[in-house]
Amino acid sequence: MGETSGHVSLGLAFLIIGVWHLFNTIKLHSLNPRSYHISPWFPLSRPSLKYLEPVAIMLVTTVFVSMELVFNRKQPIILFIASPYQPIPSKNLPHLEHSIIALSFFFYALFAILLDKFSRVDPVQNGSTRNGLAHFLQAVAFGQQLLILHLHSTDHTGVEGQYHWLLQIVTFVTLIATLLSIGYARSFLVSFVRAFSVILEGVWLVVTGVMLWTEKLMPEGCFMSAEMGREGVVCGGDGAALERAKALVNIEFGLYLILLTVFTMCLYLVLVKLYPRETAEYRKLTKLCDQEEEGDDQIILKPHQLCI
């Protein structure tokens, strides 16, 4: 994930899944807000494509790990892992860390399918235990991502560090929203915020990949330099160029945050109109009965009392 292709590919995956979740979240809540429950993933109506979302996550992460450890390396990193006599070069450690993040999401998607296929659904809880376990696996994956971003073996400093620091904030919001999904399974806002943060994470990964490794888009006074066997952005001068570059990154993040907020609000208003609330809703039936009350010389019947 240290080059444009890695950031952009993962960013597009987060972006597509985030938009898919946001669309389904708004649609299902708009159709029937009373029965709304947060879903860790959204199956397609066609049986053959039911597991398209988790399968797509598994495919993307498999390709990503393969590129990180095997295909894009002169000497595949997997050989160092398999051999007890060859130490892993320091320059390869970041690729292993990126692969651990991808593997966390791979196993989340795998167990999401297995839980749906083999776990028993309690009719009283309406599958809340199964969904809660899937949300737990999601939280583990996002927590793993946040931990590795924060404790990365690559010293993210300067402009690159500013991009990754803002990415940590977005990942933290996603992690908290995912954890809240376990305890607040009926909260539309929790699900909305989670989808929003996943989209923002995807957008920021794409932006990071493009802006950091495209020389024409680098801030004034900054240039590419090879450090520790990898290319990175370095800003020269007495520090003024670096501070200016960081300020531009903050402004860029703020603009994307505003644009994404406008997009999500417009999408919400459009989908609420396209999918109005269903008129027929299931309600709990109450039994009406007559209650007897004794008077002085007669019994008085009070109709339309609720029997419990």
The pLDDT value given to residue 29: 95
Helix or strand or coil: residue 125? coil
CA atoms of 30 and 278, how far apart (whole Å): 8
The pLDDT value given to residue 220: 84
For the stretch 4-39, pLDDT in tens is: 777 888 999 999 999 999 999 999 999 999 989 999
Write down the residue that tokens 């959204």 correspond to.
Answer: 42
The pLDDT value given to residue 84: 57
For the stretch 39-55, pLDDT in tens is: 999 999 888 899 999 99
Taken as a whole, the chain contains a residue count of 308
pLDDT at 117 over 80: yes
pTM over 0.85: no
Contact 5, 209 (CB under 8 A): yes
pLDDT at 77 over 60: no
Residue 285 or 205, more confident:
205
Mean pLDDT score of the chain: 83
Structure tokens at 303: 């109709």
The residues spanned by each domain of the chain are: 4-290
Structure tokens at 23: 């669309």
Burial of residue 167 (CB within 10 Å: 0-12, 13-18, 19+) is: buried
Q: Could you tell me which of 153, 147, 119, 154 has the C-alpha nearest to residue 40?
A: 119
For the stretch 234-269, pLDDT in tens is: 887 778 888 988 999 999 999 999 999 999 999 999
CA atoms of 208 and 214, how far apart (whole Å): 10
pLDDT at 231 over 80: no
Q: Under 8 Å CB-to-CB from 261, ≥6 apart: which residues?
A: none
The pLDDT value given to residue 301: 46
CA atoms of 103 and 147, how far apart (whole Å): 14
Q: Which helix (H) or strand (E) holds 17?
A: helix 4-31
Phi/psi at 49 (nearest 5 deg)? -115, 15
